[in-house]
Chain A
Amino acid sequence: MEFYLGLLQILGVHTLLGLSAYVVLLTGQVSMAQAGFYAVGAYVAAMCTAMFGIHILPAVIIASVSTGILAMIVGFPALRVRGLMLVVATLAFGEMVRMFFFNFRWQIERDGKLIGPNGAEGFRAIRFFPENGWETGDVALFIWCIVVIVLGLLWWVDNTRAGAVLRAVGHDEVAAQSVGLNLTTIKVAAMALGGAIAGIGGGLYAHTVTHIEHGVFGILLATFAIAYPILGGLGSVFGTLLAVIFIQGFLVEGLRFIGDWRSLLFGALILLVMNLRPTGLLGERMSPLKTLFSRKSPVVTNAKETQ
């Protein structure tokens, strides 16, 4: 039972990670920086609870707000470049964050012990849950409450005008601009929202594992973040959820018996899905407003192909 509750925790934080990339992907931007935001969220939330004794809920909110602001700051210069260049820019940002935490030392004394991030050794003893007597089940419940709130919120946003606006930008920037949408504002807003969600995910992650170090937040995690929504399909938030359950639940945990070959399978699976179903498992759903925006003339489609 403990095992399954632990698995639920993992699924929860990874869903948040995937959703953070999902928001940014809706505007057509591939951001590899989500692992970086996730790392910042993890360190900030862990510092709040372990070093300053704040309760987990405000700690996660602080983490989320700070990563949201960070994402906004990163978003402005990074979104000057589009498409593939953005992939590179955000990849570099993610690595920069990782290298920062590799060198980051700030320890204070609490209960006679030094606590805090300690460079390459990482941040040990983030023991908010055990100290306050939370069982694995309580933690899983807490995480999933947050996940459900975020999922519901995003699903709701998706079905309002804001969601249509995000998708309009993702489908055709020129068309979106021509109906009076401010591209920079929308992209930076999506980036900030994505960053905030990644911050929540990171904050929760830090407390479930109690020890974080820079190596976890590498390119592989960033890849996972964008792989969930793309594999699941950008139609709705449930695509991401499905992909997380499939990858983390089935591929990583369910196939544990085949050992190391799992990671081989992961890459092969992405290859297979992208060749057979380029729009993801659940595909892309078209909302009426969106079809209005994305009605492209053949000329535009051709121009896109030849670019």
Chain B
Amino acid sequence: MDYYFFIDLIQSLVDGLLFGTTYALIGIGFTLIFGVMRKLNLAYGAAALAGTYVGLAAAFVTPLPPILVFFVSALGSGIIGYIVYLGCFRYTPSSHPMAALLASVGMLLFIDELVIHLSHGMPYPYPSVLRNAEITLGEIWIRGDMLFVFGICVLAMVILYWLLYRTSLGLATRAVSQQPRAAQLCGIPTGQVNALTFVISGVLGGTAGAMTAAAVGVLSPIIAMSLTTKGLIVVVIGGLGSIPGAIIGGLMVGAAENVFQLLRGVTERDIYVMLLLFIFLTLRPGGLFGNTEGRD
């Protein structure tokens, strides 16, 4: 335990926490959809990635500043989220939850293949901002682009909270997630709320995808799988249906991932993250903030 090891540990912890916000966003997306529909959307990670590609495609057509590329990515992912809703959840009967689940798996494969096909499976450079800036705090230094990723993700969360707790749309969403039938009786169009939730979570996913790509610097189809698995782990750790849980879970997974990478190397780090998940499942199946009642 020498001094430099300690510094390295703090450094990877900080990096992990900054990057963890993207996992938190993906986790929030899963949680939102689960909240209103009580269904798991496995196509979510792929949809987020496809949206990010939409932003990149827009940048190919006309040169755009990075901020606008991120914006188009988020928007594209929102639209794809709506398509996923139509394809997998709108017309599958609620009496067969497996049908919706498998349909979303089908959508995952479809989107994934479509992206690989259209991009020829090649990684593309993705724009980033503040690449060369950095802040030094003693021995720790923080990358400017990571700080930007962190800022955007936090901003997205703040906007989401405003949307959910300060607008009538948010009120309707929360009502549907608490009691769909009662919400319907009060005149809330549950179908529209469901569709809108898919769009909102799609926008969040697109933001997360864009930020992941911006932090890495390249965009490749491989990101979809890691977004999906990491997002699901975050949701389980935080508790399915809980937004603060998803945020804490995302930061935890980000930090744990980086620390394990430092301790055990890049090939083994995911094993330990999965192990963390399994420990949570056995000791606290409801997650950190999940309520255990009314669970499917």
Do chains A and B stick together as partners?
yes
A contact residues vs B (CB 8 Å cutoff): 25, 30, 77-78, 80-85, 87-89, 91-93, 95-96, 99-100, 102-103, 120, 218-220, 223, 226-227, 230-231, 260-261, 263-264, 266-271, 274-275, 278-279, 301-302, 304-307
A99 to B271, Cβ gap below 8 A? Answer: yes
Is the CB–CB distance between A88 and B274 below 8 Å? no
Q: How close is A28's CB to chain B, nearest CB, in angstroms?
A: 8
Interface residues of B in 18-39 (CB under 8 A from A): 34, 38-39
Q: Would B281 and A85 count as touching, CB distance under 8 A? A: yes
B109 A230 Cβ-Cβ under 8 A: no
Task: Please state if A92 and B278 are interface contacts (CB–CB under 8 Å).
Answer: yes
Interface range on chain B (Cβ under 8 Å from partner): 35 or more
Ordered by A's residue number, 10 sampled pairs between the chains whose C-beta atoms are within 8 Å are A77-B282, A82-B296, A87-B40, A92-B274, A120-B267, A219-B225, A261-B117, A269-B106, A274-B92, A275-B103
Overall SS of chain A's interface:
helix
Q: Which residues of B contact A226 (CB under 8 A)?
A: 102, 105
Contact A306 B180 (CB under 8 A): yes
- Given A84-B34, A103-B267, also A78-B281 (CB < 8 A): yes
Contact of B285 among A81, A231, A279 (CB under 8 A): A81
By a CB distance below 8 angstroms, the chain A residues around B34 are: 84
User: CA of A279 to CA of B102 in the docked complex: distance in angstroms?
Assistant: 11
Checking B102, B111, B112, B117 against A260 with a beta-carbon cut-off of 8 angstroms, the contacting residue is B117
How close is B89's CB to chain A, nearest CB, in angstroms? 10
Which residues of A lie under 8 Å from residue B95 when comparing CB positions?
301, 304-305
B99 and A274 within 8 A (CB)? yes
The answer to whether B268 has its CB under 8 Å from any CB of chain A is yes
Complex interface: chain B residues within 8 A of A87 (CB): 40, 42, 101
Q: Which of A80, A103, A268, A275 has the most CB of B within 10 A?
A: A275
Number of A-B residue pairs, CB cutoff 8 Å, is 150
- Residue B67 at the chain A interface, CB threshold 8 Å: no
Is the pair A268, B271 in contact by a Cβ cutoff of 8 Å?
no
Contact partners of B181 in chain A: CB under 8 A:
302, 306
Q: Is the CB of B105 within 8 A of A77?
A: no
User: Residues of B contacting A100 with CB < 8 Å?
Assistant: 271
Chain A hits for B42, CB < 8 A: 87
List the B residue with the shortest CB-CB distance to A268. B110
- From A84, A218, A268, B39 is in contact (CB under 8 Å) with A84
Given A103-B268, A227-B102, A307-B296, answer yes or no on A92-B110 (Cβ-Cβ < 8 Å): no
What is the interface of chain B, defined by CB distance below 8 A to chain A?
A: 34, 38-40, 42, 87-88, 91-103, 105-114, 117, 179-181, 225, 229, 232-233, 235-236, 240, 267-268, 270-271, 274-275, 277-278, 281-282, 285, 294-296
Interface pair B270/A99, CB less than 8 Å apart: yes
A181 CB, min distance to chain B CBs, angstroms: 20
- Report whether B274 and A275 are in contact in the complex, using a CB–CB cutoff of 8 Å: no
Collect the chain B residues with CB atoms within 8 Å of residue A219's CB: 225, 229
- Lowest 6 A-B CB distances belong to which pairs? A270-B106, A267-B110, A267-B109, A278-B99, A274-B103, A83-B296
**CB-contact partner of B105 in A99, A268, A270, A306, under 8 A:** A270
Name which residue of chain A comes closest to B294, CB basis.
A307
Which of B106, B179, B285 sits near A268, CB closer than 8 Å? B106
Q: How far is the CA of A306 from the CA of B97 in the complex (A)?
A: 12
Q: How far is the CB of B7 from chain A (nearest CB, A)?
A: 27
* Distance (whole angstroms) from the CB of A244 to the closest CB of chain B: 15
Q: Give the CA-CA distance A227 to B40 in the complex, in Å.
A: 16
> Other than the known A103-B267, A260-B117, what 10 A-B pairs have Cβ atoms closer than 8 Å?
A84-B240, A84-B296, A85-B295, A103-B271, A227-B105, A264-B110, A266-B106, A268-B110, A270-B109, A275-B87
Give chain A residues whose Cβ lies under 8 Å from the Cβ of B88.
Answer: 271, 274
Report how far A274 CA is from B42 CA in the complex, Å: 15
Chain B residue contacts of A25, Cβ below 8 A:
98
Q: How far is the CB of A240 from chain B (nearest CB, A)?
A: 14
